[in-house]
Amino acid sequence: MTEGNFVDYVKMHVTSGNGGKGSTHLHREKYIAKGGPDGGDGGRGGHVIIKGNSNLWTLLHLKFKRHIKAGHGAHGSSGRSTGADGEDAIIEVPLGTVVRDTDTNDILFEITEDGEEKIVAEGGKGGRGNWHFKSSTNQTPRYAQPGIPLEEKDITLELKVLADVGLVGFPNAGKSTLLSVLTSAKPKIADYEFTTLKPNLGIVKYRDFQSFVMADIPGIIEGAAEGKGLGYYFLRHIERNSILLFLIPADAKDIVKQYEILLDELRRYNPEMLDKERFVVVSKSDMLDEELKSEISTILDRDLEVDYMFISSVAQQGLTELKDKLWQMLND
């Protein structure tokens, strides 16, 4: 999927259908005098429904759909005939989509399962026909209920990618390269910063036909919370990950300091993210000889609070061990 086709944020105006009016019809038939009321009920207005679809990965199909309208309920008619219900408007979204009320920014609900349906704008109920109101003292009611009016609101759809492992690191740390080596994903890779502008997903194949999903997001820099770089707009895509995999290049001036900066940016975005499992990978380690590796290991053993590993995506070093470690962490 190209970067332009990844859409993870959409605003739209949704409108349900009006309920149909009840009928005030009075029965008229040859040889039947004073047939009495027989007005039917109005039909229900159509709902606007959000439905999960596991075959979708982005909100691209909704990018240019700003107004969604459901059908109105039909009016009741003679013979106690109920009007037809309005047609529901179904909006299909990928799993992990959060639906918010745009005006209040409150979360209405989240879609996490395939086929899951939630009503975001409820159709109006149809009005009752006049035959409901007949009685011994009012045998010919000439009134009926109107249908309940439609509901309309502005909503925001936010996609939060569902993955098992999220890659976190500074620009040019080797996240996209690692994703391209471990999975069949084809992220954009180049020797300049902020090559990745949109999240990328890949499926990592493991032993015995097992697999897990890995997500790569744009690089984070110090001050992202203040909007520097690309900000932390994309951090929501790793909120649902079980494991945060920190990538720090071997040529970094201070590996521990870089890790602490990344951790601080995550804390400022959402403190709950620090409760996730964390693992550090020193990437581009094919540039290191054994002596340098030993020196760096001594520093990391002393100052780093989490486990770490040396890998090289280009030289294919340590990748099998990394997959073993991630699989173990996921299943623990």
User: Residue 217: phi, psi to the nearest 5?
Assistant: -115, 165
Position 1 scores a pLDDT of 45
- DSSP for 73-142 reads PPPPBTTTBPPPPPPPEEEEE-TTEEEEETTT--EEEEE-STT-EEEEEPPPPPPPPGGGG--SS-SS--
- pLDDT at position 233 is 62
- Which residues, at least 6 apart from 22, have a Cβ–Cβ distance to it below 8 Å? 39, 40, 41, 42, 75, 76, 126, 127, 128, 129, 130, 132, 144, 145, 146, 147
Measure Cα distances from 201 to 174, 299, 311 in Å: 15, 33, 20
> Annotated binding residues for GTP, as ranges?
169-176, 194-198, 216-219, 283-286, 312-314
Res 99: pLDDT? 95
| Helix ranges (DSSP H) in the chain | 175-182, 255-269, 290-303, 319-331
pLDDT of residue 227: 63
Element (H, E) at 214: strand 211-216
Domains and CATH numbers, the chain: 1-161 (2.70.210.12), 165-330 (3.40.50.300)
Nearest CA among 191, 185, 189 for reference residue 165: 185
Binding residues: 169-176, 194-198, 216-219, 283-286, 312-314
Q: What pLDDT sits at residue 193?
A: 53
Query: Mean pLDDT in runs of 10 for the chain (332 residues)?
Result: 67 95 89 85 96 89 93 92 94 92 93 94 94 89 93 92 82 82 71 62 83 79 62 70 88 87 84 86 85 86 86 86 88 80
pLDDT value of position 264: 87
So what's the pLDDT on residue 304? 82
Binding-site annotation, residues for Mg(2+) = 176, 196
